[in-house]
Structure 1
Amino acid sequence: MASVRHGSSRGQAWFCTTGLPSDVVFEVHDMSFHLHKFPLMAKSRKIHRMLTEQEEQRPARGRRRKRSSDGGDVGDDGAAETEIEEAEEEESEEQQRVKGDGQQPYSIVFPDFPGGPGTFEAAAKFCYGVRVDFTAWNVAPLRCAAEYLEMTEEHAEDNLAARAEAFLEQTVLRHPGDATKALKSCEELLPLAEELGIVLRCAEAIAARSSSATASRSWFDDLAVLGLGMYKRVMAAMASRVDARATEARESCLVSYARGTIPGLSRSMRRRLASAPVASEVEQRDLLEAVVASLPPDKGSGRVVTAKFLFALLRTAHILRASGAARTALERKAATLLEHAALEDVLIPSYSGAAETLYDVDCVQRVVRYFLAEEEEVGEGEASSSAAITEEVPRPSAVAMVQVGKLVDSYLAEVASDANLKPHKFCELALALPDHARIYDDGVYRAVDIYLKAHPRLTAEERDRVVGVVDCRKLTVEACTHAAQNERLPLRAVLQVLFFEQLQLRRAIAGTLLAAPAGQPQQARRQQHQRAGSGGEAWRGAATTVAQESQVLRLDMDSVASRVQELERECSSMRRAIKKIDGGGGRSGGSRSPGSADGSRPAAATGWRARHGCKFSTQVCDSHARNVVASRASRMGMSP
């Protein structure tokens, strides 16, 4: 039907090869189309009107040329007639170059044709009766071209506009993936596509189909092809739907779009869609801020918009130097899912030149502060309706607080080795959490031990301040054993650890003594009840067993009583030692021992350890929270 060949002086030219000479030339951008007027006039009202106007002008020009050749009045208009004749001669020469029959073709220029030369070629083929295959990519340009050329049903039946509308409604808008492609094609068709409602219909179709129970989510990655403007239209359409399934679909679209359009979103998100455009740093920042603005306001389930994703956005926001409002919104949003975050998520490097530390400790501290504020609001709401909640059932906020406590302790242990981390920053983050956030202080003690090892030049005051974040009453037996042998701790802290360890052991033994007399008769009665039907022989055997158990219990009680007395003597001795240190060592406290390497330990500490048998080598504490509960419960039999 038609062929394309390149011209040497007029760019690209498209000639219709029907065997008839073309009588109209269309200029569309840098492309020339040599066509025939009658097929196009039959389908396009606009082309029909433009060619009719040109035909009406041609006879008048012919009569004007005839009057000039007959030698009419030659006066003041002589110069003008001569110019017309010269123009006609030049026009005739151009006509001979284009066509050999002496008839110059009509010329129509479309400088702003929607869709460009490719779309005009498809529309022209439709006018010639050639079958046009509609796709999700070309239906919107063809619909706009039909509107531009006025190829409607009022001018001709079964026209291009009706065909494109039918395919759009029956095929494209029923599949969110096809609607996404059609929406992408509308970016070059504005504002005509907006006036025809194609943009709105595609966005609403994506929102409606994405929340359907039968819809597949494999097309979510296709959203990465959308520009920022069209993406906002889709998010706005999804936000207008209030059902839970639409909210989850919106979050899925949000995550897919962010991963596909923002390079380097996280350490593990290296894959990027080939169809996504490569954006500059400014465009990436705009995209990120648009994604942040589209985040759901509520806490959410955390299944789609996860803590890992939010902290990845926060890290990227620091890299791209996003606005303060966007970073604050991300920090507040990340705080709502802080209990689900892992250690690698919160390790956000410092990208600011003014920061001295390797990781952005201030950012994590702000997130923890937002989390505490959120938990305080939740706690107030639960307190107003806590009548049905028993103390045996832990509140979700309490569980989240413990999880955050473990996360903060792990973070402190990770950043403690940074030589540029100031003591007040370390202490502020360690003390930011309330007491009930830590069941045991083994994790924060381990971080303190690492910090003291990495900062050997701390003053006595700074050392006491750092060690003061540890509650010695909440250390397990393993942590107490390590602390008693830790030469990096101040002597006063070691004595406190030993004192509270002995005090807790005493309370545990006292609790055992009180529980044993009450529990034994009940056990004996249970055994008696079970063996009541076994006859006299069984009864005598049971009595013998009970007597033996009672004798063993008395022996155990005597042993425990002697051990309690021994512990009381040791406690008294420790109190006297502490008083001597407070009285004598306090006056010379802070003086360096001549024989110490770094001057951080007084000589009295070494002598005291030698007298009490503390001769073990010091290592960095490696006590973890997962070993705490089992050891504490099994060895002491008491709650924290």
Structure 2
Amino acid sequence: MKTMSCRDVDEDYPSHGSVLGGKPNRCVIYPPKPSLVAEAVERRNNNWFVRTKVASDLVVQVGDFSFHLHKLAMVSKSGYFNRLVFAKRSEAHGDNGAGCLKLVLDDLPGGTKAFGSVVNFCYGFNVDVTATTIAPLYCAANLLEMNDDLHHGNLISKAEAFLSFAIFSSWKDTFKVLKSCESVSPWAKQLRIVNRCSDAIAWKASTVPKAFGRNSNVGESTDTWWFQDVSTLRIDHFILVIESIKQRGVKPDLVGSCIAHWTSKWFLGKTFIFDELTVPKHLAQKLQRITIESLINMLPTEKNSVSCNFLLHLLKLGLTMHINSALLDKLETRIASMLEQCPVQDLLVQNNGDKDTTYDVGIVIMVVQAYVVLSMKNSGARPCNVGRLIDDYLAMVARDVNLAVDDFKSLVDALPTNARSSDNSLYRAIDMYLKAHPSLTEEERTSVCRAMEYYRLSEDARRHAMRNDRLPLKIVTEFMLLEQVKMARSMSATRSNIDPRTTTRTILKVNNKGLERGFITPQKEIKMIRREVENMKMQLNQLQMCKLKLEKQVKRSCFK
């Protein structure tokens, strides 16, 4: 006997786009010979009637619909109905089962649609199913106990045949089955439909895509062709798929990229995982918090399996949703351990508010502070790598007019002095910040520049700083005095070959001038110091020339 008819599962498979689109594959289930012959099943408003020569003696309420049926047709295929009808008959006390029996099915998987297919099957009508409807029907058949013990070729076995066929033979049908499980979640998990779909997806994802008629999209890697389809899954189903994929030995960096792709689709774009219009706000927030915690827990533990940028976005989400503090600490530590190899672009985590900074500087401050603590415990730490990274990051965010002085300064001060081999990049970032924030007070500008040290700047950077009107007068004055001292020492060292008695007098003269003027000087005093510095440079050049002449004379006298 013919039991079902299925179309070629891949003949309509789309070469691009979502697996949920396209014309669905179908299957016709042919039921065995019915116990009661019926002419048709008809609907009148919210009532369904089976047209037969025998009056209805069973009414089943499913949701808002009532089905007027016959005990004989239903109990012959359903152990559930058999048991209920027998129990009700025993309660009737001698009425011999006469009258119409009423039953209510409140929690039937698949609801009215699935029960309508069950009714058709029990009365001998063909049942048309697709990958989208087979899981709810299979769950309903199991609840109603429609197994082969009651009748050979019953609904469970026939639905199972097409379910297995759809899951393992077609990539798109596997996803359609899995998506349909969302509405019958407890039953689908109990009957292992979700696990079977997850294993099938993992198997196919780790195999050549062409084996399933799946062509990669333009710009799509042969390794990542399955990302887009997997990202359509709900979080609980996504977790099971990722677990199955890990067990198949898929590379950790691919697993990490897939998790990042899913997160980007559901949290970082315009689509949110829970619509607060349909889900109460407090419940939506709780579900989002659980989702973020699940994503953190499922991350591959292997080094470099996920990017620093994705982890920072995940940390930002976790902070926003107030997730478990232990998980936040774990994530923060993981990011901190990656900073020494992190490219500066990975630190760019965008803000969404109109009055916010373009990028979230606060979250970077957090992980830098965590790195400092971590590096103290690690003798092999390379803080200079992080110093260069943060100075480059400072230069990128310095132009942001919304970046507060305290945030900029906190990021500058987050690293110890030994994390910078030079202050040149720091000076460049500070200068850019001062240029973008001209309304800062003298005190604020001075506080921003305090981390920068004269002796850690190159000659060119010092020269630029002493002519930089954006720097506070106090800083410029200090730099000029230090430059004078440096030049005086250089002049003294040069003159010592000619007249050693001048060394002490020169240094004292320069230092006394600096002390007399003080550190806070008016603008004209700055210009005077600049002229003195230029004069001292000229004198130093003359002395160096004189020294060269003397050295030549000494050499000549030696050869005579």
Q: Which residue identity does 1:442 align to in structure 2? A: N
Distance between the aligned counterparts of 1:258 and 1:281, measured in 2? 16
1:258 equivalent to 2:263? Answer: yes
Partner of 1:582: 511
1:13 to 47, 51, 64: 47
2:301 to 297, 303, 308: 297
Q: Shift of the alpha carbon at 1:423?
A: 8.4
Contact 1:260 1:276 in 2 (8 A): no
Other structure's SS at 2:207 match: coil
1:429 equivalent to 2:407? Answer: no
1:152 to 142, 147, 152: 147
Distance between the aligned counterparts of 1:290 and 1:581, measured in 2? 66
Cα 1:501–1:414, aligned 2, differ >3 Å: closer, same or farther? farther
Q: Shift of the alpha carbon at 1:342?
A: 4.0
Distance between the aligned counterparts of 1:107 and 1:418, measured in 2? 70
Mind listing any 5+ residue stretches in structure 1 that lack a counterpart? Answer: 64-102, 382-396, 507-563, 597-602, 615-640
Q: Shift of the alpha carbon at 1:497?
A: 5.6
1:35 equivalent to 2:63? Answer: no
Contact 1:210 1:246 in 2 (8 A): no
Distance between the aligned counterparts of 1:590 and 1:173, measured in 2? 80
Cα 1:604–1:53, aligned 2, differ >3 Å: closer, same or farther? closer
Distance between the aligned counterparts of 1:162 and 1:276, measured in 2? 41
Other structure's SS at 1:421 match: helix
Contact 2:58 2:102 in 1 (8 A): yes
5 Å-filtered alignment, 1:220-239, equals 220-223=227-230, 226-239=233-246
Contact 2:312 2:363 in 1 (8 A): no
1:441-481 Cα distance to aligned partner (Å, 9 max, x none): 33211223345564764459x8388345246455263x344
Partner of 1:89: none
Partner of 1:494: 480
Other structure's SS at 2:103 match: strand
Other structure's SS at 2:129 match: coil
Distance between the aligned counterparts of 1:476 and 1:278, measured in 2? 64
Q: Shift of the alpha carbon at 1:607?
A: 0.8
Q: Shift of the alpha carbon at 1:565?
A: 7.8
Q: Which residue identity does 1:5 align to in structure 2? A: R
Partner of 1:365: 365
1:283 to 277, 287, 293: 287
Contact 1:484 1:498 in 2 (8 A): no
Partner of 1:610: 531
1:143 equivalent to 2:138? Answer: yes
Distance between the aligned counterparts of 2:53 and 2:502, measured in 1? 119
Contact 2:462 2:479 in 1 (8 A): no
Contact 2:391 2:429 in 1 (8 A): no
Distance between the aligned counterparts of 1:195 and 1:456, measured in 2? 64
Partner of 1:388: none
Q: Which residue identity does 1:463 align to in structure 2? A: T
Distance between the aligned counterparts of 1:502 and 1:612, measured in 2? 10
Contact 2:344 2:389 in 1 (8 A): no
1:128-161 Cα distance to aligned partner (Å, 9 max, x none): 3333233333222222222222211222222211
Partner of 2:428: 446
Other structure's SS at 1:27 match: strand
Partner of 1:624: none
5 Å-filtered alignment, 1:64-213, equals 104-173=99-168, 178-189=173-184, 191-213=186-208
Q: Shift of the alpha carbon at 1:166?
A: 1.9
Cα 1:360–1:471, aligned 2, differ >3 Å: closer, same or farther? farther
Distance between the aligned counterparts of 1:62 and 1:422, measured in 2? 84
Cα 1:197–1:300, aligned 2, differ >3 Å: closer, same or farther? same
Other structure's SS at 2:66 match: strand
Distance between the aligned counterparts of 2:349 and 2:486, measured in 1? 35
1:384-418 Cα distance to aligned partner (Å, 9 max, x none): xxxxxxxxxxxxx6995475244344257346984
1:463 equivalent to 2:446? Answer: yes
More displaced, 41-50 or 463-472?
Answer: 463-472
Distance between the aligned counterparts of 1:405 and 1:160, measured in 2? 65
Contact 1:114 1:145 in 2 (8 A): yes
Contact 1:342 1:407 in 2 (8 A): yes
Distance between the aligned counterparts of 1:276 and 1:213, measured in 2? 40
Cα 1:319–1:52, aligned 2, differ >3 Å: closer, same or farther? closer
Cα 1:416–1:14, aligned 2, differ >3 Å: closer, same or farther? closer
Contact 2:477 2:521 in 1 (8 A): no
Distance between the aligned counterparts of 2:138 and 2:371, measured in 1? 52
Other structure's SS at 1:16 match: strand
Cα 1:425–1:261, aligned 2, differ >3 Å: closer, same or farther? closer
Distance between the aligned counterparts of 2:157 and 2:360, measured in 1? 59
**Per residue, is there more helix in 1 or in 2?**
1
Contact 2:62 2:111 in 1 (8 A): yes
1:60-103 Cα distance to aligned partner (Å, 9 max, x none): 2279xxxxxxxxxxxxxxxxxxxxxxxxxxxxxxxxxxxxxxx8
TM-score normalized with structure 2 length? 0.68
Mind listing any 5+ residue stretches in structure 2 that lack a counterpart? Answer: 1-38, 215-223, 536-560
The aligned length equals 470
Q: Shift of the alpha carbon at 1:120?
A: 0.9
1:187-235 Cα distance to aligned partner (Å, 9 max, x none): 4435443332333333333344333344865554444554444444444
Q: Shift of the alpha carbon at 1:3?
A: 5.0
Other structure's SS at 2:204 match: helix
Contact 1:405 1:433 in 2 (8 A): no
1:328 equivalent to 2:329? Answer: yes
1:302-330 Cα distance to aligned partner (Å, 9 max, x none): xxx33332333333334444444444333
Other structure's SS at 1:156 match: coil
Partner of 1:312: 313
Cα 1:14–1:584, aligned 2, differ >3 Å: closer, same or farther? same
Cα 1:448–1:46, aligned 2, differ >3 Å: closer, same or farther? closer
Distance between the aligned counterparts of 1:581 and 1:149, measured in 2? 100
Q: Shift of the alpha carbon at 1:124?
A: 1.5
RMSD between superposed Cα atoms in Å: 4.7
Distance between the aligned counterparts of 1:573 and 1:166, measured in 2? 104
Cα 1:260–1:357, aligned 2, differ >3 Å: closer, same or farther? closer
More displaced, 289-298 or 155-164?
Answer: 289-298
Cα 1:118–1:357, aligned 2, differ >3 Å: closer, same or farther? closer
Cα 1:276–1:415, aligned 2, differ >3 Å: closer, same or farther? closer
